[in-house]
Chains A and B, each alone.
Chain A
Amino acid sequence: GAVVSQHPSRVICKSGTSVKIECRSLDFQATTMFWYRQFPKQSLMLMATSNEGSKATYEQGVEKDKFLINHASLTLSTLTVTSAHPEDSSFYICSVEQQNTGELFFGEGSRLTVL
């Protein structure tokens, strides 16, 4: 079964609204989760590292005020796209790393379309 649950899988919103995407680790606790963005026919681009109980670490060029990340528990991280615009339309994916093996488990992804 799924190790990482991501919700919603698809969301359509109007320009200017905010959208929240949830990432849940189902099989183990995760002090660290990762958020990626993927454009069509392109690779995964790491946006930020979500740290439980502390601030997220953002990659260069990613606006932290635009993409708010909250990691309030050991099994849940949320990504909020604030004041979304059409250029924010993309496929957003989260991942969780299993500490013992280093294996990375990805969520099913969330397709955001901003009208």
Chain B
Amino acid sequence: GENVEQHPSTLSVQEGDSAVIKCTYSDSASNYFPWYKQELGKGPQLIIDIRSNVGEKKDQRIAVTLNKTAKHFSLHITETQPEDSAVYFCAASRGDTNAGKSTFGDGTTLTVKP
């Protein structure tokens, strides 16, 4: 089955700096890679996703890059703000599988210091 590894487990940055979280996956058939933000005591929320036919996607301060050959994808947050502090999860799933059955990374706790 799929195996997703996420690094780092914790990340602390100063407000205004950039943050990068990386994930690797094992199943070459995986083609959907979402990123979720989970605030304390709440359910995860999709912040950005990318499919395997695209190498990069950007939405304001958030971007995701995908390297299918190396089987890794990364989340980039620029101009970080204290409200970006949360746990971020990457995930991977195949086209013939529901996104609900995605394999999730172990999460990265991001702390943005004001």
Contacts and interface: CB of A to CB of B under 8 A. Distances in A.
Nearest to B42: A108
B34 to A, nearest CB: 7
Contacts, number: 56
B43 A97 contact: no
Contacts of A105: 46
Interface stretch (A14-22, A43-51, A68-76): A43-51
Interface residues of A, number: 24
Interface in A7-29: none
B100 A44 contact: no
Nearest to A96: B100
Nearest to B32: A102
Nearest to B106: A43
Contacts of A103: 34, 46, 49, 99
Given A104-B46, A105-B46, A106-B45, A43 B107 contact: yes
A108 to B, nearest CB: 5
9 contacts: A33-B100, A43-B89, A43-B106, A44-B44, A44-B89, A49-B98, A104-B100, A104-B102, A106-B45
Interface of B: 32, 34, 36, 41-46, 49, 89, 98-102, 104-107, 109
